[in-house]
Amino acid sequence: MAITAPFSYPESIKEKFIATPGLKFKDGTTVSSAEIWEFMTKEAPKRFPYAFDAGANNMGRFSDDVHFLSGIKRGYLTLTLKDRVMKEHAAGTPTVLVQGGQAMDAYYAAGGIPVRPGLVMQWARNMHEGLSLRQSETLGLNILESGRRKISIDACNQIAAHAAIDNKVVPIDLIAPFLCLRCSDMSFLVETHRNREHDIPRYLVDYPVDHENKPWAAEYIATELRELIAKIAALSGRTITDEVIFNEIKLENRGRRIATEIAELWWDAENPPTNSTDFFGIAFLANDFVGDPVAAVDLLEQSKIEIEERVRNNVKGFGVPDHAKRLYICGSCVGPNAHHAQTAGAIFVGRDDSWSCISVPVEEEGDPYLNIAKSMLAYPYEQRTEKRAEWTADQVKRSRADGVIFMYQWGCNYQSGVARMISDIVKEKAGVVTTFVEVGELGRSEATEQSTNRVEAFIEMV
């Protein structure tokens, strides 16, 4: 294996970086940019060397665009997740397993920290420090295989997150995802936690899959949300009022609004103002919030100012190829490697899964439970397949994409079933070329030749 020097931030940008605002957190603290710089240049490379692996295969590799300073802060939020969650958990804040693509307003409002399977695995891998990329991935794969042994060798790679919880690699206090059909992970989750010896309580939020023209659906979910929030509040000790929930909704709506404004700016720019890594890393903060919506929204605001300035000055993000082909990515969990795609001449302009819940704000007046329920029922990704495809086609046109890659993980019995239909409808409605690729590499950076080959060939075709 070729040895590549670790990624590092150049000293030449330090002065400019530490002059920028720090990040505010939900516990009322602020971390200065000088502290962030120290962490990202001294502490983190020692504790999490895998993250600084500069090999092109590293899926989680940091952006090379070191002058996009918000990107450094994004890396800080990612690498401090474990410390922040463990600290809060030790102080009594409950951690809650949720599902991908699910809005988190209710969970945060109730005083919990919602974590999705992807974040669980990142957290689990970071519980062991000082690991190289290969060591870190081997750790993750060992957890994955332990999960498969318990459930099925045919389970998709998301089983790793449930195994990490079942094996108590990370402390989770409540398992409370909503049960939609976005991902086979849901079935494997239920099976993993159905008859386990662990004592983690479960509250599965039933999601009426066929909810179109069913007026009772919103009230049905709202009733469940009342119970869910009460359960989390019982663990957190927080008193929940409608005002508390609305405050959280307003904060997360602000995040969703800024992310949308960033995307609009980015899509309309003559030159893409950031590379794919920075664009997705920043815009999707409003989808994930990385354990702290206050910090995420703060960073979104700072990022928007940076991106506005770049667009105003027609600055092209570092790494964006000349005449880059614009690709829209579909599907859950996995996506093509951004660095490989850039080398092949393409940039990513959007992603249906991550954008789905950002695109649906929650109403800020009335019954907060009912409002969250209504927004959950409106997520484009959770609609019947034709409707989801039509929304995706609109996103493809809006983002001025030249092509669409639908990627899904082997073992995902839901996305594999809709990939072709969505690809075909988007091709017809948006008038762009599409392809779908099944991969087996979720959580793995090495041995990805088969999927890389397909993506490169598609870019050449575009």
- Binding positions for other proteins, rule: CB under 8 A: 410, 420, 424, 433, 435, 437-440, 449-450, 453-454, 456-458, 460-461
Q: Judged by CB, which is closer to other proteins: 273, or 411?
A: 411
Residue 155 Cβ, how far from other proteins at the closest point, in Å?
Answer: 16
Strands (E), 254-389: 325-330, 346-351
Residue 6 Cβ, how far from other proteins at the closest point, in Å?
Answer: 22
Q: Judged by CB, which is closer to other proteins: 322, or 449?
A: 449
Residue 323 Cβ, how far from other proteins at the closest point, in Å?
Answer: 13
Does residue 354 contact residue 280 with C-beta atoms inside 8 Å? yes
Secondary structure (3-state) at 198: coil
Q: Which of 77, 78, 64, 99 has its CA nearest to residue 24?
A: 77
Residue 11 Cβ, how far from other proteins at the closest point, in Å?
Answer: 33
Secondary structure (3-state) at 326: strand
The two beta strands, 95-97 and 30-31, are unpaired
Query: How far is CA 271 from each of CA 268, 301, 319, rounded to the nearest angstrom?
Result: 9, 21, 12
Q: CA torsion 225→226→231→233, rounded to 10°?
A: 110
Q: Judged by CB, which is closer to other proteins: 97, or 407?
A: 407
The alpha carbon dihedral of 386, 392, 393, 394 has a sign of: positive
Integer Cα distance of 125 and 277 in angstroms: 21
Could you give the count of Cα atoms lying within 13 Å of 84 in the half-sphere of its Cβ? 23
Q: Judged by CB, which is closer to other proteins: 117, or 411?
A: 411
Residue 348 Cβ, how far from other proteins at the closest point, in Å?
Answer: 19
Integer Cα distance of 140 and 145 in angstroms: 9
Residue 66 Cβ, how far from other proteins at the closest point, in Å?
Answer: 27
The alpha carbon dihedral of 264, 266, 267, 269 has a sign of: positive
Q: Judged by CB, which is closer to other proteins: 127, or 461?
A: 461
Residue 450 CA to chain centroid, in angstroms?
24
Q: Judged by CB, which is closer to other proteins: 223, or 453?
A: 453
Q: Judged by CB, which is closer to other proteins: 223, or 450?
A: 450
Q: Judged by CB, which is closer to other proteins: 31, or 433?
A: 433
Integer Cα distance of 245 and 368 in angstroms: 7
Integer Cα distance of 60 and 62 in angstroms: 6
Residue 422 Cβ, how far from other proteins at the closest point, in Å?
Answer: 13
Structure tokens belonging to residue 181: 């059909």
Integer Cα distance of 106 and 90 in angstroms: 22
Q: Judged by CB, which is closer to other proteins: 364, or 424?
A: 424
Q: Which of 454, 447, 455 has its CA nearest to residue 1?
A: 447
Residue 436 Cβ, how far from other proteins at the closest point, in Å?
Answer: 9
Q: Judged by CB, which is closer to other proteins: 177, or 411?
A: 411
List beta partners, residue 205: 178
Residues 6+ apart with CB under 8 A from 295: 23, 24, 25, 26, 77
Residue 438 Cβ, how far from other proteins at the closest point, in Å?
Answer: 4
Q: Which of 202, 178, 229, 253 has its CA nearest to residue 369?
A: 229
Does residue 291 contact residue 81 with C-beta atoms inside 8 Å? yes
The two beta strands, 30-31 and 23-24, are antiparallel
Residue 325 Cβ, how far from other proteins at the closest point, in Å?
Answer: 13
Integer Cα distance of 65 and 296 in angstroms: 20
Residue 427 Cβ, how far from other proteins at the closest point, in Å?
Answer: 9
Per the listing, tokens 């969970």 go with: 107
Q: Judged by CB, which is closer to other proteins: 209, or 461?
A: 461
Residue 410 Cβ, how far from other proteins at the closest point, in Å?
Answer: 6
Q: Judged by CB, which is closer to other proteins: 227, or 460?
A: 460
Integer Cα distance of 226 and 232 in angstroms: 10
